[in-house]
Amino acid sequence: MAGRLLRMLRENSDLAGTFLDPRTIEDLVATRDLADDWPNSNLLLHECALLSFAPSQQDYARSRLRSAIEWTAAWVNTPREEHERNGITAEDIAEITIGLLNVDAAAAAVQFLQRWRPPHLTVKPAEIIGRAGRPHSGPAGT
C-alpha cells in the first residue's frame, strides 16, 4: 500500500476500522504494513485499535491491547530523557482506549484513562475519541 494511505489508516484507526472489511484489517496487521517509519514506533497501538473493529478478532485484539498497555506502563517507568526521544502521545492513549471501548466496553476504557497521572493527561485522548463521533456498539456479542 502507498505510504500516504498507510499513514492515513494508522492515524485514523476509528475510521479505518469502521469502513474496512475485517479481512483487510487482518491483512494489514498480518503484513505489519502499519509500522511507522521512526525506529521505536509502537505498532501495537495501531494494531489493537484496528483489530478491535473486526468481530472475529476480538480475542487477538485483547491480546494486543494487553501488550500495548504493558508497553505504555514500561514507557512511563523509563528515565525522563527517554520520554523526550520516544514519547507517548494523546493519540497513542486514544488508540488503546478505542480498542478497550470496542472489546471490553466503556468501563474498561474509563478505568484505563483513570490510571494516567496527572489526570489532565486524559483530556486530549478523550477529546480525540469524542471527535470521532462514531456510535459505540459495545463488545462483541452484546
Question: Which of 8, 68, 57 has the alpha carbon at shortest distance from 30?
Answer: 57
Number of domains in the chain: 1
Q: Is residue 119 part of a domain?
A: yes
Q: Is residue 20 part of a domain?
A: yes
pTM of the model: 0.76
How far is Cα 46 from Cα 50, in angstroms, rounded to an integer? 6
pLDDT tens per residue across span 13-26? 887 888 888 888 88
Q: Is residue 85 part of a domain?
A: yes
How far is Cα 139 from Cα 98, in angstroms, rounded to an integer? 11
Q: Is residue 142 part of a domain?
A: no
Higher pLDDT, 10 or 47: 47
Q: Is residue 55 part of a domain?
A: yes
Q: Is residue 140 part of a domain?
A: no
According to the 3-state scheme, what is the secondary structure of the chain? CCHHHHHHHHHCHHHHHHHCCHHHHHHHHHHCCCCCCCCCCCHHHHHHHHHCCCHHHHHHHHHHHHHHHHHHHHHHCCCHHHHHHCCCCHHHHHHHHHHHHHHHHHHHHHHHHHCCCCHHHHHHHHHHHHHHCCCCCCCCCC
Q: Is residue 141 part of a domain?
A: no
pLDDT tens per residue across span 24-51? 888 887 777 666 654 445 678 888 898 9
Q: Is residue 139 part of a domain?
A: no
Task: Find the domain containing 30 and state its range.
Answer: 3-132
